[in-house]
């Protein structure tokens, strides 16, 4: 187990925010996790799990012990008549994992290409793009209970997946100091800070068909004249679409979409359409409507604007960016000030409260 003190986290979050971890432990094996739990000093402190840092806003130095997930490994667990079951270590880079599955001839993850972050972070917010969510390809995951060091597995229903949501985004209910709730009691409520994902397994069906329902992918298909694209072709199209409108975190710091797309009732949607006929909206299976948060923010005139060193990306208003320099980066406070100003103007104009998507630390 490698324990480091006073570590810069600037290179560990895709926003590029300068903040430090008081204590950081690199987790490269299950034994490292057992060592953390066995260590009296470490285990008595709150813990914060860090993957690729692509979905966090650091508003100051991090006092909980940072567990930096670096468990590697890609393997085929099982091949059945119908599917390949593939496993990846939580510390694997998500995009490289997608590329690896395609190189093996196992399609299914191509619509999720180029999403920043690690494999272990993918179930936490149930990553999704271009018509596919992680839960659509999810088989199961392995995690370790940070209170006891015991490993356990969860299937999809036990992960409580929702739109950009899972049990790993919710804290378990507080318990009196010194007491520990049995894992079974908190499993369905929230596992943030309580469990750490070590491996994720995917089920990739042999009956694969390209998922081209998303308008921009359909446009690519028509432009190319390819009626039946391969998974590799879809992967390339998704990479082209993302590169055209989302900033590369290696060049411009950001945490992807900063707000979730809000869901409204049919009445609320009609009310907004009556005032703004161009509002981008999609009907959901339950009859409610999802609105494009990027469109709402754009309509309020935020695209390209800045507050301090925090800015709104000029090609996608849903993405907030770091307009500082590595030496003088944006602060988490500036990002949150801009986020609140956006929330206020969207609320005043549309009566909708936008909910941030990244975890604010």
Which residues of this protein are in contact with ligand EPU, per CB under 6 A?
129-130, 256-257, 260-261, 280, 292, 294-295, 298, 303, 316-318, 357
Select 121 or 129, whichever has its Cβ closest to ligand EPU.
Answer: 129
Residue number with CB closer to ligand EPU (247 or 332): 247
- Reduced to 3 DSSP states, what percent helix, strand and coil does the chain have, rounded to the nearest 5? 30, 25, 45
φ, ψ of residue 77 to 5 degrees: the values are -80, -40
Q: How far is the CB of 296 from ligand EPU (least distance, A)?
A: 9
328/282 Cα distance (integer angstroms): 40
CA angle 337, 339, 344 (to 5 degrees): 95
Of residues 295, 286, 314, the one with CA closest to residue 352: 295
Question: In terms of CB distance, is 29 or 135 closer to ligand EPU?
Answer: 135
Q: How far is CA 311 from CA 146, 266, 303, in A?
A: 37, 32, 9
User: Shortest Cβ distance from residue 301 to ligand EPU (Å)?
Assistant: 11
- By beta-carbon proximity to ligand EPU, the closer residue of 128 and 190 is 128
| Pick 136 or 145: Cβ nearer ligand EPU | 136
193, 210 contact by CB (below 8 A): no
* Closer by beta carbon to ligand EPU, 65 or else 318: 318
Distances (CA, A) of 81 to 34, 84, 141, 210, 256: 37, 9, 22, 20, 37
Cβ of residue 73: shortest distance to ligand EPU, in angstroms?
A: 26
Nearer to ligand EPU, 47 or 241 (CB): 241
List Cβ<8 Å contacts ≥24 apart for 150-153.
150/183, 151/30, 151/198, 152/183, 152/195
CB of 318 to ligand EPU, least distance (A): 4
Which residues are designated catalytic? 164, 257, 357
Helix (H, G, I), strand (E, B) or coil at 175: coil
- Residue 238 CB, shortest distance to ligand EPU, in Å, is 9
62 phi-psi bin (left φ>0, alpha ψ -120 to 50, beta other): beta
Cβ contact 288:337 at 8 Å: no
CB count, 10 Å around CB of 341?
Answer: 16
Least Å distance, CB 341 to ligand EPU, is 16
Q: How far is the CB of 295 from ligand EPU (least distance, A)?
A: 4
Tell me which DSSP letter residue 149 carries: -
- Do 232 and 110 form a contact (C-beta atoms < 8 A)? yes
114: closest CA among 220, 207, 243, 25?
243
């Amino acid at each position: 187990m490698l324990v480091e003190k006073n570590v810069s986290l600037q290179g560990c979050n895709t926003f590029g925010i300068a903040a430090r971890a008081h204590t950081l432990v690199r987790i490269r094996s299950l034994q490292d996790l057992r060592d953390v739990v066995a260590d009296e000093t470490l285990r008595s402190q709150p813990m914060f799990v860090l993957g690729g840092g692509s979905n966090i806003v650091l508003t100051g130095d991090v006092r909980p012990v940072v567990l930096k997930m670096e468990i590697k490994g890609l393997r085929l667990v099982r091949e059945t008549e119908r599917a390949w079951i593939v496993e990846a270590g939580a510390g694997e880079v998500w995009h490289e994992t997608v590329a690896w599955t395609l190189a093996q001839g196992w399609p299914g993850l191509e619509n999720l290409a180029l999403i920043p972050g690690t494999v272990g972070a993918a179930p936490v917010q149930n990553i999704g793009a271009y018509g596919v969510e992680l839960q659509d390809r999810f088989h199961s995951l392995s995690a370790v209970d940070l209170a006891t060091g015991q490993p356990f597995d969860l299937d999809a229903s036990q992960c409580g997946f929702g739109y950009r949501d899972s049990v790993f985004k919710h804290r378990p209910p507080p318990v009196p100091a010194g007491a520990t709730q049995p894992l079974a009691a908190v499993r369905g409520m929230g596992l943030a800070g309580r469990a750490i994902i070590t491996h994720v397994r995917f089920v990739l069906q042999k009956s694969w068909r390209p998922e081209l329902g998303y308008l921009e992918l359909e446009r690519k298909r028509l432009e190319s004249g390819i009626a039946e694209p391969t998974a590799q072709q879809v992967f390339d199209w998704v990479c082209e679409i993302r590169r055209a409108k989302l900033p590369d975190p290696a060049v411009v710091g950001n945490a992807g979409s900063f707000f979730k797309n809000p869901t409204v009732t049919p009445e609320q949607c009609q009310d907004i359409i009556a005032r703004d006929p161009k509002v981008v909206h999609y009907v959901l299976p339950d009859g409610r409507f999802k609105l494009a948060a990027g469109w709402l923010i754009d309509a309020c005139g935020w695209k390209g604007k800045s507050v301090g060193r925090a800015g709104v990306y000029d090609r996608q208003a849903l993405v907030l960016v770091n307009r500082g320099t590595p030496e003088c980066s944006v602060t988490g406070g500036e990002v949150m000030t801009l986020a609140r100003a956006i929330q206020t103007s969207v609320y005043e104009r549309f009566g909708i409260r936008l909910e941030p998507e990244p975890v604010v630390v």
